[in-house]
Amino acid sequence: MVNLPLAHDLLWGMTPAQLPADAPAWAIVALAAGQPVVVRRALSEEGLVAVGVRGVLREQRLATFMPLDSIACRVSPEALCHVECERDLPVMQALKQLRPMLDDCCWVWGVSGSVGFELASGFAAMHAGSDLDLILRAPQMITRNQACKLVGLFDQAVCRVDMQLQTPFGAVALREWASGSARVLLKNANQAALVTNPWHPQEQAA
């Protein structure tokens, strides 16, 4: 299949019948209501994609697999950057505040987490204490100085803002890359590994 789903994409089309036999009742209810599932980083067999089912409670998360041929609709985080929501919550205030500045950077960015889920699906997922989770497509290296400037920008927001940098080799937390740590955690479908450069993970410090 061309253009396979990427981590954090939201997918519609999975049915309760496709859940494992021991799936919790809340997961069955979620899919029966028409909720999307979110693509996660994990290896899957051919014809399947690793996904997570989201429940109402924070601890209600089910890791499972969805047949690729069941996908009826797919929404990426970057498609949600300019979706509006009438709910007056800190996360939405932060998104409105940061949106023009992120657009001006000319980088491809997107909204994930509970905010992305609600903006895409209409199912309530945000609350007054929600964090704003963002992603940044970073095929080329983001310098540590650029990362520090972004963190400084985010720390002026009215809620906590976290961003994942999506490199060609996996994802790294913006705050970790900005911290100056000699090695940072790079996550992909195969593993999570400490590397010195997320854009060249084969390079290791002497």
- Residue 89 C-alpha from the chain's centroid: 20
CA distances, 176 to each of 46, 81, 97, 118, 205 (Å): 33, 23, 23, 27, 17
Annotation marks residue 155 as catalytic: no
Q: Are 38 and 10 in contact (CB under 8 A)?
A: yes
Q: Which residue out of 69, 133, 155, 162 is catalytically annotated?
A: 133
Q: Are 133 and 174 in contact (CB under 8 A)?
A: no
Q: Which residue out of 9, 88, 103, 131 is catalytically annotated?
A: 131
The 10 Å Cβ neighbour count of residue 134 is 25
Residue that has been written with the tokens 């929600």 in this structure: 130
Annotation marks residue 133 as catalytic: yes
| Count of all residues that appear for the chain in the document | 206
b/e map of 77-112 (b: 16 or more CB within 10 Å)?
bbbbbeeeeeeebbbbebbebbeeebeeeebbbbbb
Positions marked catalytic: 131, 133
